[in-house]
Amino acid sequence: MNYDERLSNVSVLGAAGKMGSGILLLTAVEMADLSFKKDNGNLTFILNAIDISDKALAGLLEYVRVQSRKIAEKKINFLREIYADNHTLIYNNEIIDDYIHRVLAIIRPSTLIESTYNSNVIFEAVNENPNLKIKLIKQIDENSNTNPWFFTNTSSVPISYLNEKGDLDGRIIGFHFYNPPAVQKLVELINGEDTVSDLNTFALEYAKKLRKVIIHSNDIAGFIGNGHFMRDALLGIRFLNELKSDYGFPEALYVVNKVSQDFMIRPMGIFQLVDYVGIDVCMYIMEVMNPYFNEENIHSDLLDQLFERGVKGGQNSDGSQKDGFMKYNKGRIIGIFDYYNNTYVDYDAVSKKMDLVIGKLPNNHIIWKEIIKVKDRDDLLKTYFENLSLDRTLGSIIAKKYMKGTREIGLKLVEQKVAKTERDVNDVMLTGFFHSYGPINNFLPWEEI
């Protein structure tokens, strides 16, 4: 079975979720493009969109409709070539409308898992719950007519574990898209101990067609991305706990979030990032990772306690941010959680108070939005961090300690053989998390910190 034949019947589990919807969109577009090939005239392309909610699936089709139009508009020259022999479609808008119809016609929404039984490829994008993943994988495989290949979007569960529990004989690979899949270039590719070579070859070709950047991670819980991010979050919580007795909980939370964003030149602070991903999601990932690292405690009592209080973060169905460590209104932070009073305090009031305590940003600071536009930015970063290293404000002191901690996390991922090289760690954080520099660097005199 060649690439095109393999991709002629595909299913996406969790298709209406924020990850599954992006995977479905990208795959539908790829299948639509393949359907134009003359050699594929005898193939019928079917993409089963599987989710538990009919309402969510209806919204999914509208999402695909809108996004496929944007994709078509960007590649109109390619489409004009494909439609060159179709003399009934002359204008760009006619071609785009026909193409969108072709993409949507491939998708078969369903709440029935039985719809997957004829698929050659199964993309699994359900919750980060190993038991749920295994249950669905086993049910499909035991009833399948095709001996399918499984692509799991897990960001933490070892592939060899899923392979063993699912009795798959190596027919599973980790293909971890980053959120949102339609925009993010990075995919972590994880082979299990027994992943069949043809599946790996197919995965690489599929990634190439989607123009994704592949970073290979070894099959160790959390992989590179969450291996770093979860420990980074725990590091931020540690600083929060150290500062709260001196300044108060919301004040300490503000300090660590501002330092990890502005002083460290990141797209968002660590607690805002946890909110974006979801406090509950971070908890689940840590629960998966923790048993695999006896020398570490990858767990946070604070996250557990926030979850118990219903403070979960994550996004609403319309993409708006739910309240977590911070309270949001139309994407803007308007409040900070006060753990001891179980309420949110005014963000601007805390900001005005604590910015005086944190101190000014070091000289030559460039905000993330600007520096990320600079391709060769090392000299700018070097100058800024030289100034940071000499600064004695509270913000600079915490930033230096925080950066040293994230560097040690990165080096440990290489030592633990999660990542093959230091560059792989840096590339994941640069590409997948949009950092302006990798955590393993020589911008600061580490031995002096």
In tens, the pLDDT along 313-352 reads 998 877 789 999 999 999 899 999 999 999 999 999 999 9
Q: Which helix (H) or strand (E) holds 337?
A: strand 332-338
- C-alpha 135/C-alpha 119 separation (Å) is 17
Are 188 and 242 within one domain? no
Q: State the pLDDT confidence band at 307, using cuts at 50, 70 and 90.
A: very high
The arrangement of strands across the sheet holding 326-329 comes to: 326-329, 332-338, 343-346
Are 146 and 257 within one domain? no
- C-alpha 281/C-alpha 76 separation (Å) is 39
How many domains would you assign to the chain?
Answer: 2
Assign residue 157 the CATH number of its domain. Answer: 3.40.50.720
Q: State the pLDDT confidence band at 120, using cuts at 50, 70 and 90.
A: very high
Assign residue 257 the CATH number of its domain. Answer: 1.10.1040.10
- C-alpha 260/C-alpha 246 separation (Å) is 19
Helix (H, G, I), strand (E, B) or coil at 321: strand
Predicted pLDDT at 91: 85
Are 13 and 89 within one domain? yes
The dihedral through the CA atoms of 198, 200, 203, 209 has a sign that is: negative
Closest CA to 99 of 168, 164, 155, 33: 33
Predicted pLDDT at 262: 98
Are 245 and 176 within one domain? no
* Distance (Å) of CA 264 to CA 37, 79, 324, 401: 49, 43, 22, 11
Averaged pLDDT for residues 209-235? 98
pLDDT beyond 80 at 166? yes
**Where is the domain boundary, 216, 246, 275?**
216
**Where is the domain boundary, 197, 216, 235?**
216
Are 229 and 195 within one domain? no
pLDDT beyond 90 at 231? yes
Q: Which domain holds residue 94?
A: 3-216
Per residue in 1-57, pLDDT tens?
A: 899 999 999 999 999 998 999 999 999 999 999 999 988 888 999 999 999 999 899
Are 187 and 257 within one domain? no
Predicted pLDDT at 92: 92
Are 380 and 414 within one domain? yes
* Distance (Å) of CA 127 to CA 140, 284, 371: 17, 9, 35
Are 54 and 133 within one domain? yes
Diameter over CA atoms, the chain? 74
Are 337 and 421 within one domain? yes
Predicted pLDDT at 38: 84
Structure tokens at 144: 């399948």
- C-alpha 389/C-alpha 447 separation (Å) is 12
Q: State the pLDDT confidence band at 85, using cuts at 50, 70 and 90.
A: confident
Predicted pLDDT at 403: 98
Are 156 and 53 within one domain? yes
**Where is the domain boundary, 193, 216, 239?**
216
**Half-sphere exposure of 36 toward its Cβ, with a 13 Å CA cutoff?**
18
* Amino acid letter, residue 4: D
Structure tokens at 109: 């929404």
**Half-sphere exposure of 440 toward its Cβ, with a 13 Å CA cutoff?**
19
CB 328 within 8 A of CB 312: no
Predicted pLDDT at 317: 72
- CB crowding 149-186: b at 16 or more within 10 Å, else e: bbbbbbbbbbbbbbbebbebebbbbbbbbbbebbebeb
Are 229 and 211 within one domain? no
The residues near 418 (Cβ < 8 Å, ≥ 6 apart) are: 217, 218, 220, 222, 223, 224, 227
Which tops the pLDDT comparison, 86 or 68?
A: 68
Are 378 and 397 within one domain? yes
CB 425 within 8 A of CB 410: yes
